[in-house]
Chain A
Amino acid sequence: MITRIFTLFFAFVLLSSFSDQEGYRIGDKALEFELKNIDGQMFSLKSTAVRGYVVVFTCNHCPFSKKYEDRLIKLNNITTPKGYPLVAINSNDAEQYPEDSFENMKVRAKEKGFNFPYLHDETQEVARTYGATKTPHVFVLAKEHGAFVVKYIGAVDDNTDDEAAVKMKYVENAIDALTTGNLINPELTKAIGCSIKWKKS
């Protein structure tokens, strides 16, 4: 009986410690997801020769995401030649937010001329695994011994409203640090954003 109580107790402790650890921390190995791109093809992190990726959780409807659409295009032009192409993912529930449907992702990408893959995380599994909570939410990954390791989590830069007033380009700084072998500082930032719209279960 006592053993049983102890087993239960330990199971509970284990479970609660698991649920505490939602999403990735710096240094974690990232899931090598495979998701449908707006061109209809499956996109896999494994598929290209790269040093890493700039993974951006974003969407169509969120004003904060809209503010960054042009900036993401510019950012991709900077990071891709350094070996870190940008990959955008939309994980929002299109039932509650029709503007974020797969069809509307295609429309937006064409309108804006996205120069990066725009992937649909229909099951929301990738957002949950990464611990993305809002849009935009960036995860910089670098390849180490064949695995993708999380190097930076947070915002694109320090001014959503006004690009001209940006003082810190966090993601560009992170990529620069990675390519020059320096420490990323800061490796964790925050910004206000729209919450990811989880499916109602």
Chain B
Amino acid sequence: MHAMAKLILSAFLILSALRADAQKQITEAELKDLSFKVNDTLYVVNFWATWCKPCIEEMPHFIQLAENLKDQPVRFFLVSMDFKSQEEKLREFVLKKEIPLPVYQLIPENINHFINQIDPDWSGAIPATAYYRNAQKVYFYEGEYTFETLSSTLNKLINQ
């Protein structure tokens, strides 16, 4: 009985760890730590949300290109702007779609400040994607990508 309880407990712990891994809540400062690194890797930060149709439409392109470019110095982060109250919906989405890229949920303290920090030209509409290298923003784009436009953007930036 005792062993059984232990088994159930460890199963529960493993499951909850898996659940927690589906997405991670981060702050603005943590996002900066992720993307502002002093090295030659290109960090691609895509802002999206589960309810945003064009975001969901372009997501497979990010996944496919991350796979195609896996030997290149490029890393992808999918940063969800879903509401705090939508945390469970986001988790279900990430698990159901089996999204292989790291997914973060960001709930900014001051949304107005956050948007301007990411890029002064960002209106706040999503999808939007920011690119960083050597602790600097190298490019920002507000709008939806096709496979071709994302692919050429990445190739250009990687070979810059």
Interface residues on A, range: 20 to 34
Q: Are B115 and A191 in contact (CB under 8 A)?
A: yes
**Chain A residues within 8 Å of B142, by CB:** 133, 195
A97 to B51, CA, bound (A): 13
- Interface residues in A84-139 by Cβ distance below 8 A to B read 97, 133-134, 137
Asked if B112 is at the interface of the complex by the 8 Å CB criterion, the answer is yes
Q: Are A158 and B112 in contact (CB under 8 A)?
A: yes
Most chain B beta carbons < 10 A, residue from A63, A160, A190, A193? A190
- Known A-B contacts A190-B116, A195-B143; the reply to A158 vs B111 at CB < 8 A is yes
- Say how far A118's CB is from chain B's closest CB, in angstroms: 21
Q: Are B125 and A134 in contact (CB under 8 A)?
A: yes
Asked if B52 is at the interface of the complex by the 8 Å CB criterion, the answer is yes
Contact digits for B136-148, partner A, Cβ 8 Å, 1 yes 0 no:
0000001110000
Does more than half of chain A's interface fall in helix, strand or loop, or is it mixed? loop
Q: Are A63 and B51 in contact (CB under 8 A)?
A: yes
- Known A-B contacts A161-B83, A161-B84, A195-B143; the reply to A155 vs B112 at CB < 8 A is yes
Asked if A192 is at the interface of the complex by the 8 Å CB criterion, the answer is yes
Binding site for A on B (CB under 8 A): 49, 51-54, 81, 83-85, 110-112, 115-116, 122-127, 142-144
Most chain B beta carbons < 10 A, residue from A155, A158, A192? A192
**Chain A residues within 8 Å of B112, by CB:** 154-155, 158, 186, 189-191
- Say how far A173's CB is from chain B's closest CB, in angstroms: 13
- Say how far B31's CB is from chain A's closest CB, in angstroms: 14
A155 to B116, CA, bound (A): 14
**Chain A residues within 8 Å of B144, by CB:** 195
Going nearest first, the 6 A-B pairs with the smallest beta carbon separation are: A134-B125, A195-B125, A133-B123, A161-B83, A190-B115, A190-B124
